[in-house]
């Protein structure tokens, strides 16, 4: 029997990257090592060995001491972006007799622990130099299992166990299950973006979606204390913490927007308040992004959802900045966004009834089709440069770690 547990990690979309595939695989290995680092260190301190992560022949492998429960590998690794699926496996030399013996031991354990009665062998010959083709491998291994496990029968349509046999050059692997992963691309393979992060449903989902595409994220959060409460900011921090469970630690830039809002209310038309505040948010975010080497801004805006998210309003908002603005939710239905929030674990926190800065000084009838010329005229009444500089310089930076 093997002295270690072994897991096969599949990379899904990464496999399509052609000549760049090794780069993405290295990044994924780094992410897995980082995710499992604390567990590995604890095992070493106890003298039980360590966790090894490496890539070979288009797959990523994890080896861990037998004393470590499989779930402590499966659960965290399945939540890493870039992982398509992960399987606990056993290994054997790439020899049909050895593979057959290991397959019999594997199935005897399945019979003892789960009471299985039927099986099917599905073989894959990754090493094309291996002299036996995949259908014949399945037939030979299936016959050995039938001889070694008298209670089993073959069921090719609906078996209790699908026994996968993956024959490779140096060693072969046997497994019966695939734990689904997050998919996407490894974090850090697609630059860095700054998320305008509120306490609502949308921005956490937008953050998660961009991180899934391999983008590292930082977040900027605006408050209007004392009109908004400290508990509202704590709620936002908990949402960022949930996202950090997928990405690792996240830097959160907290900025007081109240002085800017008060200036807008005092000097500009009431119906333009929402769009003017939104433009200042974008300008401040652009400066924060520049200082922190973020290449683009990310928002949770959804076309037509509120007054500041009409097509006309988005055009005027984008005119405030020169850097790209990503809106991953732009064409989604609100119901679909809510479903995704539930799936990633942010929904229940997002719907907690704490106000955010966007609810402060709301006009009764916000303009839905703003004209850029008119908005620029209103902005000319304000000392925009000073207001933005003061806001950025007064930021509080919080490092948010996963739970």
Contact 60, 25 (CB under 8 A): yes
CB 173 within 8 A of CB 137: no
- Residue 364: Cβ-neighbour burial (10 angstroms; 0-12, 13-18, 19+): exposed
CA angle 176, 180, 185 (to 5 degrees): 130
Whole-angstrom CA distances from 149 to 73, 121, 152, 194 are 30, 14, 6, 57
Residue 196 annotated as binding site:
yes
Residue 78 region by backbone torsions, left for phi larger than 0, else alpha for psi between -120 and 50, else beta: alpha
Three-state DSSP at 204 gives: helix
d(CA 43, CA 47): 6
How far is it, in rounded angstroms, from Cα 39 to Cα 5? 15
Residue 248 annotated as binding?
no
Find out whether 300 is annotated in a ligand binding site.
yes
Burial of 264 (0-12, 13-18, 19+ CB in 10 A): buried
Residue 222 annotated as part of some ligand binding site = yes
Contact 211, 218 (CB under 8 A): no
Answer yes or no: is 342 a known binding residue.
no
Q: Please name the residue that has the structure tokens 């993956």.
A: 166
Surface-to-core class of residue 114, CB atoms within 10 Å of its CB (0-12 exposed, 13-18 middle, 19+ buried): exposed
Whether residue 139 is annotated as binding a ligand: the answer is no
Does 183 appear as a known binding residue? Answer: no
Q: How many CB atoms lie within 10 A of CB 303?
A: 13
270-293 burial code (b ≥16 CB/10 A, e <16): eebbbbbbbbbbbbbbbbbbeeee
Q: Which residues are annotated as a binding site for ATP?
A: 196-197, 221-222, 278, 300, 309
Which residues are part of a known binding site? 196-197, 221-222, 278, 300, 309
């Amino acid at each position: 029997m093997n002295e270690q547990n072994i897991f096969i990690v599949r990379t899904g979309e990464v496999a399509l990257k052609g000549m760049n595939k090794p780069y993405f695989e290295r990044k994924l290995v780094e992410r897995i090592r980082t995710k499992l680092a604390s567990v590995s260190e604890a095992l070493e301190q106890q003298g039980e060995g360590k966790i090894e992560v490496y890539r070979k022949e288009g797959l990523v492998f994890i080896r861990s001491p037998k004393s470590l429960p499989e779930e402590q590998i499966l659960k965290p690794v399945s939540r890493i972006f870039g992982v398509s699926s992960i399987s606990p496996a056993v290994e054997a030399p790439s020899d049909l007799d050895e593979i057959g013996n290991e397959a019999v031991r594997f199935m005897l354990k399945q019979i003892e622990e789960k009471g299985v009665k039927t099986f099917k062998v599905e073989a894959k010959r990754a090493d094309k130099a291996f002299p036996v083709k995949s259908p014949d491998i399945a037939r030979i291994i299936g016959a050995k299992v039938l001889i070694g496990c008298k209670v089993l029968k073959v069921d090719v349509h609906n078996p209790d166990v699908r026994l996968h046999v993956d024959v490779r050059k140096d060693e072969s692997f046997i497994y019966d299950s695939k734990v689904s992963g997050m998919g996407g691309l490894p974090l850090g393979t697609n630059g860095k973006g700054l998320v305008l992060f509120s306490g609502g449903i949308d921005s956490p989902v937008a953050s998660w979606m961009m991180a899934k595409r391999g983008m590292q994220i930082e977040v900027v959060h605006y408050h209007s204390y004392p009109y908004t409460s400290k508990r509202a900011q704590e709620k936002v921090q908990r949402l960022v913490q949930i996202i950090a469970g997928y990405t690792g630690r996240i830097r959160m830039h907290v900025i007081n927007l109240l002085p800017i809002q008060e200036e807008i209310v005092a000097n500009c038309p009431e119906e333009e308040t929402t769009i003017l505040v939104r433009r200042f948010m974008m300008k401040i975010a652009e400066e924060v992004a520049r200082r922190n080497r973020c290449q683009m801004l990310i928002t949770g805006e959804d076309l037509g959802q509120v007054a500041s998210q009409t097509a006309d309003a988005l055009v005027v908002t984008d005119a405030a900045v020169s850097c790209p603005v990503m809106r991953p939710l732009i064409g989604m239905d609100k119901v679909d966004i809510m479903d995704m929030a539930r799936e990633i674990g942010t929904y229940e926190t997002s719907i907690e009834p704490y106000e955010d800065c966007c609810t402060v000084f709301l006009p009764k009838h916000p303009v839905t089709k703003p004209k850029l010329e008119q908005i620029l005229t209103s902005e000319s009444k304000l000392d925009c440069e000073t207001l933005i500089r003061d806001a950025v310089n007064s930021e509080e930076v919080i490092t948010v770690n996963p739970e």
